[in-house]
Structure 1
């Protein structure tokens, strides 16, 4: 015998995304998988952030 269980009720996941074209957001629920397409705003391609990593020579 195979037993499968599924949770029922509400599931919420929140996250913050910057520089988004809100009018272009698309979502699709297919076979229990939620797919989100979140495009960047036009003109924001050149606003990259760099993180410098210091090398630790003591180890």
Structure 2
């Protein structure tokens, strides 16, 4: 994965059955927002931050 897409910070919270993720990627000043079912979102985070930095 290109390093510029690696996450440097994020916050996640639940809304109904979805999880909302606010995140900032490396080399970016923009905050992005994603909403999806939690199992899909946790897979997204795992890929985005790399296997050595798993949060759950």
User: Structure 2 length as normaliser, TM-score?
Assistant: 0.32
* Higher relative contact order (CA closer than 8 Å, sequence separation 6+): 2
Give the number of the structure whose alpha-carbon radius of gyration is greater: 1
Q: Which is helix-richer, 1 or 2?
A: 2
